[in-house]
Amino acid sequence: MKRSVLFFLLLISFSGYSQTTINNYKYVLVPEKFSFLKEVNQYGLNTLTKALLEEKGFTVYFDNTQLPAEIATNKCRALNFELLQRKSMFTTNLTLLLKDCQGNVIFKGKEGKSREKEFETSYNEALREAFKSLNEVQYVYSEIPAPPAVATPVAVPATAAVNEPVSSTATAVPAAQVTGTLYAQPTANGYQLIDTAPKIVLTLLKTSVPDYFIAGNGAAQGIVLKKNENWFFEYYQNDKLVSEKLAIKF
């Protein structure tokens, strides 16, 4: 029973923490070349993007430059800028996206259009039109608050929380097979687990219990804990407790 209550409290605290907006981000990373173009900063779109974001109030860096330690050690502190083009014979159509480090869309703008025939003029005009929807949103940086302290609900011995059998009300699905080693990179509140791609697979937030983390991957939210010298990611899916075995290198 204690295990079920603990899991429920951790899940609620993580869900509240994960609801973010552009106001929770100070930094934006802009690519040096957009995917639909052939050259770096073609038509001056990338430098124009950086300038427009800075006018909005963001601190902006190109993703190919040396980043300050605050971002270099934790890319999740920054939004990633993405520009999409919808192909059309007579118009240039651009849409901007701001995504978090896990690929979740935090902001999607309205499509900007231009009918200018000269490419540089057309792309620049469409980009400025696309930014209008972002400029209509009030931006005031407000750092994401730390997750609520969980000392009170987990005031039980660490061994009891880790080794206690799962409550009869929640039967764990057999553990998934390890698919590869995940490497832990320290963050301000815990770790981010990265594969060899490298891609962020899981975000871990520290709790007051050793080897016990609030965890999420965008699609699922739960806990990562150590049992019998092995790491597991546990979460609920369709009202069933799923336990995935992980290979983590700290």
Q: What kind of architecture, by CATH, is found in domain 22-135?
A: 3-Layer(aba) Sandwich (3.40)
Cβ pair 216, 148 in contact under 8 A = no
Instruction: Write down the mean pLDDT value for the chain.
Output: 81
Q: Where are the domains of the chain?
A: 2-18+150-249, 22-135
Q: Is the pLDDT of residue 48 over 90?
A: yes
Q: Is 137 helix (H, G, I), strand (E, B) or coil?
A: coil
pLDDT digits (tens, 9 = 90+) for 91-141: 999 999 999 988 999 999 999 999 999 999 999 999 999 999 999 988 988
Q: Is the pLDDT of residue 55 over 90?
A: yes
- Nearest Cα neighbor of 223 from 215, 240, 194 is 215
pLDDT digits (tens, 9 = 90+) for 139-196: 988 765 444 434 434 444 444 444 444 444 444 445 444 468 888 888 888 888 888 8
The residue written with tokens 């029973």 in the block is 1
% residues pLDDT > 90 (the chain): 44
For the beta carbon of residue 164, count every other beta carbon within 10 angstroms. 14
Torsion on CA atoms 14, 16, 18, 21, rounded to nearest 10: -170
